[in-house]
Amino acid sequence: MNTSIMFTEEQERIINYDEGAILVQAGPGSGKTAVLTQRIIRLLKSTAGQTFRVLALTFTTKAAENMRQRIEETIGEEWRRTTISTFHAFCLDVLRHYGDHIDVRQPVSVYEQEEDRLALLAKGLMQEGLAVNGNRPDDRQLANILFQISLRKRDLILPEAVAPVSAEATYFKAAYAGYNRQLELHHGVDFDDLLLLTYRLFAEAPRVVRHYRRMYRYILIDEAQDTSRAQYEVLKLLCGDEHRNVMVVADADQSIYHFAGASERYLELFLKDFHATLLPLSQNFRSAPGIVATANRLIQHNNRLHGAPAMQAQKVSEESFVLLHEEETEEQEAQWVAEQTILLEDRLRNEHPTKFGKEEPQFQSIAVLARNRYLLEPVRAAFETKTIPYHFLTANEGLFATPQARILHLILRVWHNPYDLIHREVLLAELGLTNRDFTASLDELNGKSAETFFDLVVEKDDMLLCWKNFLRFFLNENKNTQDISCYFSNMINAFEKQIFPCEQDAGHDELLQRDLKLLKTSFEKFAYKHPIDERDLERYLHELALSSKSASGNSGVQLLTLHAAKGLEFDAVILIGMNQGSFPDYRSLRTPNGLEEERRNAYVAVTRAKRFLCLTRCRRRLMPWGDIKLQEPSQFLREMELKNR
């Protein structure tokens, strides 16, 4: 065991737990990831030289990378006996190897961006004759249909199982089927398919699931409070009746994805189905005592899993505070937030000069959180006025910030999957071309060699010369280079030589450098993680598709919605918009379950703070229709026993 870390008695009991199922009830800041990681290390060290593997499923790609790194630093090459990934990445790898058992067509592309799925759905509606007067529905209508499809997939409901009990249900059934047909035609899957198809595979191919059951003697799952039905059913099939070495780490008080089909009730089912032992992690090592006490007062108003114990604060050495501040208007609230941010940054910067240096800004140690992104707009405007650096992460923000990097990514995607007409059309548009720039024979290339498609593209005169030259190099490289590491290095070098000189804007050039660094770093991690015989373009593209931008690691104050802040921590947190109707959201007040989820949202927000926690509200708001409306303080402020200073 790593003797540099001192574990508590609670933690040691979990680390040393051997056979059987356990549910770890882990509060925020309780060191759950360190405990989970240390248990994996113990299991591997105590069985050195054996061939079984350990499967660890995490909530984010970044969490998986951090866990993998810690394990390797401790036990070296034994880490390769682990599979550490997100649930979706694990399922994608299963389908990559055995998807042919249920007719998953290869090569396969992952449609991770909503705009691509909207385009597929629109095509499906047109093909099924469901578009009114032949016109594409607006994106809002399409997004609502997509959301409903997603909910059905997470509940393992296929189109044929949708009951046509009304005209609306009949329309939706056909739309769902049309969308799935387009995915099949494009050799594509969406995120929800990864779970649904893996469930089907495990249910219909017993030999495949037995293979994985033999491979993984121990299974560990983090952040399990937001488990969906699809995830839980995949786990049950993976384990069968005999596999019970499963460790689930969860905090029902942080279950905040009910709207997306997740539920903490699967924790109750796990306890029952797996005859699991319930073990607590109740000590908080992240937040100051005042913050812990505030969070405890809030969450005690919820019905909690098995009477979960209150958190116990362990961090007492540094100065901290919790305060509530009120202003008259949203604009004044935003101005106060900006001024308080400057004061907090100054304090953090000057507090630890030996660690940070007096001249190194600490804005990235501060987060401004809100129930929704619209509440953050006045703060963003105030930050712009005062030139406070910030990063505003939106839900649909793609991996790349520049069109050049997006084009390179599209080139790789179209080369990998010649059936991917959606991304082919997007690529042509980015290059200033359309299908109409070609003869009708272009449509006949669907499913045929991507090389022929690119041969036609490079002959077009309407494209920038730098891209024409790069594509010629790309085609030649694909003909002559077999090793993907050499291929990728050569491609990036050509990209720098051919594309960078085309960029004249200095600010944009900096963004392009960041995108290029992201590409290089992502490939380096990919190459390190996989042996040479497992490296190929498809696997790399799949890992890119399942990765996402993270708020952590960005310079500037982080402006985040509560869901985007999950799993993060900051020295200082400012939680804005604490008015009844905004937070809790007015829609949640209609049901007790809705209000409890909003309270869990607030609990997650409060427990992101390590030292300084500010909550703010305004007394009146200008409504979208022009009226000024008086605002009532959020009931959560009363439950936290906070008063305006």
Q: Where are the domains of the chain?
A: 15-94+197-281, 109-186, 312-396+553-640, 403-546
**Alpha-carbon span 249 to 138, nearest angstrom:** 41
More confident residue, 397 or 571: 571
* Average pLDDT rounded to a whole number, residues 210-216: 96
* CB contact at 8 A, 274 and 246: yes
pLDDT at 643: 86
Tell me the per-residue pLDDT of 626-637, one tens digit each, with 9 for 90 and over. 788 899 999 999
Given pLDDT bands bounded at 50, 70 and 90, which one contains residue 2? very low
* CB contact at 8 A, 198 and 96: no
Same fold, 15-94+197-281 and 312-396+553-640: yes
* CB contact at 8 A, 298 and 263: no
Q: Quick one: fold of 15-94+197-281? A: Rossmann fold (3.40.50)
Residue 97 identity: H
CATH architecture of 109-186: Orthogonal Bundle (1.10)
Given pLDDT bands bounded at 50, 70 and 90, which one contains residue 278? very high
**Alpha-carbon span 125 to 130, nearest angstrom:** 5
What values do phi and psi take at 26, rounded to 5?
-115, 115
* CB contact at 8 A, 195 and 230: yes
| Inter-axis angle of helices 87-98 and 229-239, nearest 10 | 60
Tell me the per-residue pLDDT of 399-431, one tens digit each, with 9 for 90 and over. 788 889 999 999 999 999 999 999 998 999 898
pLDDT exceeds cutoff 50 at 336: yes
pLDDT at 462: 75
Tell me the per-residue pLDDT of 462-516, one tens digit each, with 9 for 90 and over. 778 889 889 998 888 877 666 788 888 888 998 888 887 775 555 567 788 888 8
**Alpha-carbon span 615 to 607, nearest angstrom:** 13
Tell me the per-residue pLDDT of 255-276, one tens digit each, with 9 for 90 and over. 999 888 888 899 999 999 999 9
pTM (predicted TM-score): 0.91
pLDDT at 443: 64
- CA proximity to 193, closest of 227, 165, 226, 230: 230
Percentage of the chain modeled with pLDDT above 90:
64
- CA proximity to 428, closest of 407, 446, 445, 399: 407
Tell me the per-residue pLDDT of 563-599, one tens digit each, with 9 for 90 and over. 999 889 999 999 999 999 999 998 888 887 899 999 9
* CB contact at 8 A, 120 and 188: yes
pLDDT exceeds cutoff 60 at 357: no
User: Quick one: CA torsion of 89, 92, 94, 97, rounded to 10 degrees?
Assistant: -130
Tell me the per-residue pLDDT of 4-54, one tens digit each, with 9 for 90 and over. 678 999 999 999 998 999 999 999 999 999 999 999 999 999 999 899 999
pLDDT at 616: 98
Q: Kindly report which listed range (113-117, 159-163, 501-505, 572-576) carries the lowest average pLDDT score.
A: 501-505
Average pLDDT, the chain: 89
Both tokens of 442, joined, read 């272009």
More confident residue, 293 or 397: 293
More confident residue, 424 or 357: 424
pLDDT at 507: 56
Question: Which of the four CATH numbers 3.90.1720.10, 3.40.50.300, 3.20.20.140, 2.60.120.620 does domain 312-396+553-640 have?
Answer: 3.40.50.300
- CA proximity to 371, closest of 145, 559, 182, 567: 559
- CA proximity to 4, closest of 24, 34, 43, 47: 34
Tell me the per-residue pLDDT of 221-241, one tens digit each, with 9 for 90 and over. 999 999 999 999 999 999 999
- Cβ partners under 8 Å of residue 405, min gap 6: 512, 515, 516, 518, 519
* Average pLDDT rounded to a whole number, residues 235-257: 94
More confident residue, 300 or 511: 300
Both tokens of 445, joined, read 């290339």
* CB contact at 8 A, 36 and 249: yes
DSSP assignments along 111-142, one per residue: --SHHHHHHHHHHHHHHTT-SGGGPPPPHHHH
* Average pLDDT rounded to a whole number, residues 195-206: 97
pLDDT at 630: 94
Both tokens of 582, joined, read 């905004």
pLDDT exceeds cutoff 80 at 133: no
